Each structure stands twice: as C-alpha cells, then as structure tokens.
Amino acid sequence: MEVSTIENTERHETVLILDFGSQYTQLITRRIRELGVFSEILPYNVSFKEIKDKNPLGIILSGGPSSVYEEEAPRIGKEIFSLNVPILGICYGLQIITYLFDGKIMPSEKREYGLAKLKIISDSALFKGIPDSGSVWMSHGDKISNLPKEFESIAMTENSPYAAIHSKNDQYFGLQFHPEVLHTEKGKEILHNFLYEICCCHGDWSAESFIDDSIKKIRDEVGDKRVLLGLSGGVDSSVVAVLLHEAIGDNLHCVFINNGLLRYNEAEEVEETFRNNFNMNLTVVDSSREFYKELAGVIDPEIKRKKIGNTFIDVFEKEAKKIGQFDYLAQGTLYPDVIESVSFKGPSATIKSHHNVGGLPEKLNFKLVEPLRELFKDEVREVGRKLNMPEFILGRHPFPGPGLAVRIMGNITEERVQLLQKADAIYIEEIKNAGIYDEIWQAFSVLLLVQTVGVMGDQRTYEKVIALRAVTSADGMTADWYPMPYDVLGKVSNRIINEVHGVNRVVYDVSSKPPATIEWE
C-alpha cells in the first residue's frame, strides 16, 4: 500500500515538546492546544535539523523517569539553545537545563511526591498574574544542589529551594513541579504565560481553523479522485467521513460492514445518519453470518480478535472491488497512534506499531488520507461538533474493535449476541435517563459463561448472568469503577431480568484498572 499521507502546507505557530519519557507528555501537549497554540511531540533524540526545520516559537522539555547524572540518562546537546527561542523544562527537563549549563543535580534526601506549597520569591514573566503562593504537584527524587551562574531561583517549596528557575536573560525556564496536571493551582495560567508572554504566540489553533485548513489540504491533495472509507460508526471514522464529505462531496464512498457484533440497532442508525441525513454514498454490507461462521466454537479472546480482523479484511477487499476504482483510502488515525508508532530510543519504549486500520492488504494499492492524525480524541469530538454532527455519535462511550465478541464470554452465536444487545441497550438507556451517562468513561454489559439457579413465578430457572461494568477515566490507561446509584442498578437489573428472555441474574463489576482491565476480554 502506498502511503501518501496529507501533510500540512500551512503550518500553525508551533511549540515543540521534546519527550524524555514522562507519563504526562501527551497531557502537556493537550494543555498547550487547549490554550490555542499548536503543539507537537518529538522524541528527545530527534535531530537538531528536524527541530530547527519545525521553526518553533518555543520548546518544552518534558519530565521523565531517569536521573540526569546516570550514565545512560537521556540527554540533548546544548546546540538547542542556539535556536534563540524560549525553552521551558518541566521536572526532568529542568534538570537537563541545569546539567547543560554546568549546574549540579543530586538525589534529594526527602523526595517530593504529591502536593507541595509553592512560594514565588522573584518577579518573572512566567508567573505574571499568579498569586505568591499556591499548591503544585511534585513528582521527583532529585533536586538542584548548585544553580548555574546564568540562572536564579524564582520560586521555592519547603524541600526545593529551586522549585522554579529562569535564566537572567528571561529566555530559559525550569519548573520542578508539573503545571500540566489539574492538581497544580494556576498551572494552566503558568503555561499561558509561557506561550503568550514569553514565546509571543498569537493563538491560531482551533477546531474551526483545523477544519478550514484540512478541507483545503484534502482538496489540494485529492483533487477529483475517489476516496474509500471503512465507516465503523465510531467517533473517529464518523468525523473523518463528514470532514471528507465537506471537502470532496460525492467523490467519497463509505463502506459499513455489519459484522453482527454491533450495538443494538447500530447498523440502522449508521445508515440513517450518513445516507439519509448527510446524503453520503454509503454501501452497507451485512456479513454477520460470515463472522458467526468464523467464530463458531472459538473461546480464546485473542483468536476471536484475529478471526474478526481477517474476516473484515476479506469482506472489505471484496466490497471495494465491487464498487470500483479508488485512489485513496481514508482512515481515522489519531495523534496518539502517530506518537506510539515512533520508536523513542530511550525512556519511551515503543508501545505498538502503527498500522493501517484493519490491516488492509497492500495489494489494494491505496494512498492514505488521514486528516485527523494531528488530533487527540477530545479535539476530534470538538471538530465533529463544529461540523454539526449529532451528539449521540460524538459523545458515545468507547466501543471495542471486535465489538461484542469480547463482551461475550465463551462461544459466539447469533442468539447470545442478540441477548447481550438487548441487555446492553436497557443499561445504556437507564443511565442516560438518570442523567449520569456523561459522568462515565465507559459503560457496558457482559454476558458471562456461567448459568445460575433462579425462581420466576413458581418455577425454578437455570439461566444466564449479565455483568454490568461502568468506569471513570481520563484516558483509559487507568480507571476506577463508577459508584452506580443503587436505584439505577435496581431499575436496570429489574428491566433486564424481566425483558430479556434467558437472564435471571445481574451483577455489578467493582474492579478498578489496574489490576483489572476495563473490558473483560
């Protein structure tokens, strides 16, 4: 497959984030974008030429798990300071700046993790309009023991006399604490000062500007050629579909494959939304029988995933050939996928290899259109809202690629899928009725492999068990179980047992991640 991803032709003003392995690196980037400035993550060991070619207005050095005095610690060259742009080091980034200017770092006798009280002791543009004291979030075991002669302290905590520093020319800054986390009071204002008071940004990054730029770039790249999109009905592919349709109209053709493992009535909703409301060219393929046949007797969740993926490829390839010739394949690749595909040689190990959605075979010979590859999930939703997309799509909870196959323990049959679809529809309906749907990151039902004894009327039953799951989370990496109100649980349980034939027991999952995962398989 020829990869010809649409690149920016008109670059926004940019602040670069050099990643030293912090768990908060993506959060820094999101905070910068929320403040109206485009930001991009690069590995700390990227070439100096690439940094220079990006022409950044400012650079942020992220935190990281290493100690700068360790032999294998990730470091950068001092040539970065020849760019003559403001630089902000956060946590480990502060230590890197100190190290490069010949200051001294040493292990702290008393490590700081959690909240600390910050006291501002010197005027600095970084703290313009910030109260003289407030709480900040610390996470470090090292501290500055000797400040470089070119720098001075501008804030301190009880354990850190150099909790914030700046160069005497007011161009380079370091924070021992994390301004990007919500626990830090006025953290967003500190970042705002760095962007607008120090880097002199104007703030040209927004959902509207992204849409305008993307439509122009798509038209310039694609022209009058045809684009094929595998539409799943999820947030990412749906926003891609509407954005592309705005740009190229009927030259976009969407294919929706019903694998029989979708949410209740989802195939009908997708058809109604995209064909009837948005007037898109849409081919709907019901391949549920094909998927059920492949999954018959399969218990292992990894084998389920592989069979679903392979079957999807086969069906998609066959349908694509039926529709005709296409030059481009559109995909809903997001910025975290792009970041994770980069092998950061150092503290940030490769998490997964980025690949074309569904693993579509190279012989289809498509060029790729990935208009969302610069966006985070929350930005995708905001773009969708600006495109007047329905909230029931944009605000819906995450749904796994293999669908209900990983929410049905054991064998997959049409009967078991339909049972779970009905139970899950009741669950989602009731938490929406209770007004708590948007408080929850993800809520869903699971069909268990066990059966239990029950009594209905005067008769003994031996029927299936439904488990309910609901979690809160910021990004899905960690999650807490949601304290579902008892009256909602009672109503959901009562409705499922009475309305879904074959279920006589409902249970609620109170496991957090870790140690459990969000999905059951």
Q: Which residues are catalytic?
A: 91, 178, 180
Q: Which helix (H) or strand (E) holds 478?
A: none
Rounded to an integer, what distance in angstroms lies between the CA atom of residue 298 and that of residue 306?
A: 11
Rounded to an integer, what distance in angstroms lies between the CA atom of residue 40 and that of residue 14?
A: 7
Q: Which structure tokens are listed for 310?
A: 């392979």
Residue length of the chain: 521
Cα dihedral 357/361/366/369 (nearest 10): 10
Q: Which structure tokens are listed for 129?
A: 């309009």
- Residue reference for tokens 């912090």: 22
One-character DSSP codes across 280-332: -EEEEEE-HHHHHHHHTT---HHHHHHHHHHHHHHHHHHHHHHH---SEEE--
8 A C-beta contact, residue 115 and residue 138: yes
Q: Which structure tokens are listed for 511?
A: 């496991």
Q: Where are the beta strands (DSSP E) in 399-472?
A: 442-456, 459-472
Query: Would strands 252-258 and 281-286 be described as parallel, antiparallel, or unpaired?
Result: parallel
430 three-state secondary structure:
helix
Q: Which helix (H) or strand (E) holds 33?
A: helix 25-34
8 A C-beta contact, residue 475 and residue 464: no
Rounded to an integer, what distance in angstroms lies between the CA atom of residue 418 and that of residue 425?
A: 11
CA 34 to chain centre: 15
Cα–Cα–Cα angle for 233, 424, 437, nearest 5°?
75
Residue 495's Cβ-count burial label (10 Å; 0-12, 13-18, 19+) is: middle
Q: Which structure tokens are listed for 50?
A: 């690439």
Rounded to an integer, what distance in angstroms lies between the CA atom of residue 337 and that of residue 241?
A: 19
Distances (CA, A) of 340 to 21, 42, 367, 455: 12, 11, 21, 51
8 A C-beta contact, residue 115 and residue 183: yes
> Residue type at 276?
N
Question: Considering Cα of 221, then 224, then 226, then 232, what sign does the dihedral take?
Answer: positive
Helices assigned H by DSSP within 398-506:
414-433, 486-499
Q: Which structure tokens are listed for 292?
A: 């059920």
